[in-house]
Each structure stands twice: as structure tokens, then as C-alpha cells.
Amino acid sequence: MRAFSPTARSRVKRLPKRAHYDRETIYGILDAAFVCHIGYVIDRQPYVTPTAYWREGDAVYWHGSSKSRMLTALERRPPICLTVTILDALVVARSGFHKSVNYRSAMLYGKPYKVEEAAEKLAKMQAFVERLYPGRWRGLRPVSRQELKATTVLGMHIEEASAKVRTGPPVDDAPDYALPIWGGLVPVRQVLGDPVDDGRLAPGSGRPPRVAL
């Protein structure tokens, strides 16, 4: 897979050794997360809206109600920034200055477009369900025409992208390692708990879905 070519917009300025422009790294981050933050501008005011998303090839998709402010604003195809962040560890250093975090983040740039065609929209909704709950779609009550109409699906071809990744232990000043101060990592993970049914299961409802997170 070809790497992205950074421009002034997407080149990582601070700590370039943490920067990555290859699709493997960037798509790996996108596929490991589930919620992104989308930045857009209305009347010179930036907004940052969290939303669930998924990736297909060189594009990302998200959806929501046709009444949503974010989705309505994005139908006009403004340039946006879509950021995904995964926190991996707290980096506990021996000085306040060197404390840090281990993380993987990806910033994507492009212009969103509305998926208009009904069959394509339905296929996107299916892809979203299957991304989170593999195999679940075929067992669900089908989406109605009205529901399809009430849903806006947006996509964005990834024009440019960069990732920033920090891994490894704290990097303390050489003399500080002699100090009697603990240094290391505290791992951070997102975990799924045991599923809790809603107490309204019909007979034969079976087991909770497998979650691909």
C-alpha cells in the first residue's frame, strides 16, 4: 500500500520521529478504534463532534439522523479533520517535564459526501453493523424504507492523513535515573464487560452478539 504524502496540512511538526504516513500504521489505528472526533467549521466557529465510524478501503464512513447539525453542515462538503485517538499507557517519568502518555492517533483530511443511493446506503449500514458485530446483520429485523430515509450516511475519501505514535518507557534526563523515584508505564486499555440483556428477551433470543472491538 502506498504511503500518504504529507503536505503543510498533514505533516507532523512537533516530534517528527513519532510521525507515520504509511497506510498500514494509519489504517491499523482506524481499525482498532470505533469512535472518532470530527472537526468542522460553521461561521468561523470550529465544532468537534464525537461519532462512531468505520473504514472501508481508503474511505471512512459514519451516519446519524438526517436532523443532526453536524451531518447537515457536512452535506455542504466542507474540508474536515477526522481524528482517532487510542490511549495505551501513562508514562510515569521522574520529573514533571518528562511525564507523557503512550498513544496512537490518526488525523485524516478530506471532504465528506453524502451516500444518496438507497441500496448503497443500506450496504453501508450493514457494513457498520458487521464491523462491530460480525455475523449479526442477517439475524436483525430489516431496515425499513422510512428508517433508511431518516438516516444520513456520510463518507470521506481520505485525501491526506498522518499518524502519531508514542511507545516505550519514559525518557528521563540521564542524571535523574539515579534518583529514588519510580519510573515506568501504567497500561491503559478499553475493555468490554459482560453483556447485560434488557430483560425483554423473547424466547429463543439466543446469546449476545460477538463484538469485534
Q: State the Cα–Cα distance between residues 96 and 93, nearest whole angstrom.
A: 7
Work out how close the CB of 22 gets to a copy of itself at its nearest, in angstroms, rounded to a whole number. Answer: 20
Q: Please identify, using beta-carbon distances, which residue of 1 and 144 lies nearer to a copy of itself.
A: 144
Q: Which of 3, 76, 77, 101 contacts a copy of itself by CB under 8 A?
A: 101
Bridge partner list, 62: 154
Site for a copy of itself in 161-180 (CB under 8 A): 169-170, 172-173, 176-180
212 lies in the binding site for a copy of itself (CB under 8 A): no
Site for a copy of itself in 140-159 (CB under 8 A): 140-144, 147, 150-151
196 lies in the binding site for a copy of itself (CB under 8 A): yes
Q: State the Cα–Cα distance between residues 141 and 21, nearest whole angstrom.
A: 41
CA atoms within a 13 Å half-sphere pointing along the CA-CB vector of 16: 4
Can you read off the three cell numbers belonging to residue 177? 535515573
Q: Residue 163: in which H helix or E strand, if any? A: strand 160-166
Work out how close the CB of 69 gets to a copy of itself at its nearest, in angstroms, rounded to a whole number. Answer: 5
Q: Which of 92, 114, 123, 159 contacts a copy of itself by CB under 8 A?
A: 92
Q: Which of 74, 80, 154, 163 contacts a copy of itself by CB under 8 A?
A: 80
Cβ distance 54 to 199 under 8 Å?
no
Strands (E), 2-79: 19-20, 35-42, 45-52, 54-56, 59-65
13 lies in the binding site for a copy of itself (CB under 8 A): yes
Q: Could you tell me which residues come within 8 angstroms of residue 213 by beta carbon, excluding any fewer than 6 positions away? A: 34, 132, 190, 192
- Quick note: the x/- pattern for a copy of itself over 15-54, rule CB under 8 A, is x------------------xx-xxxxx--xxxxxxx-x--
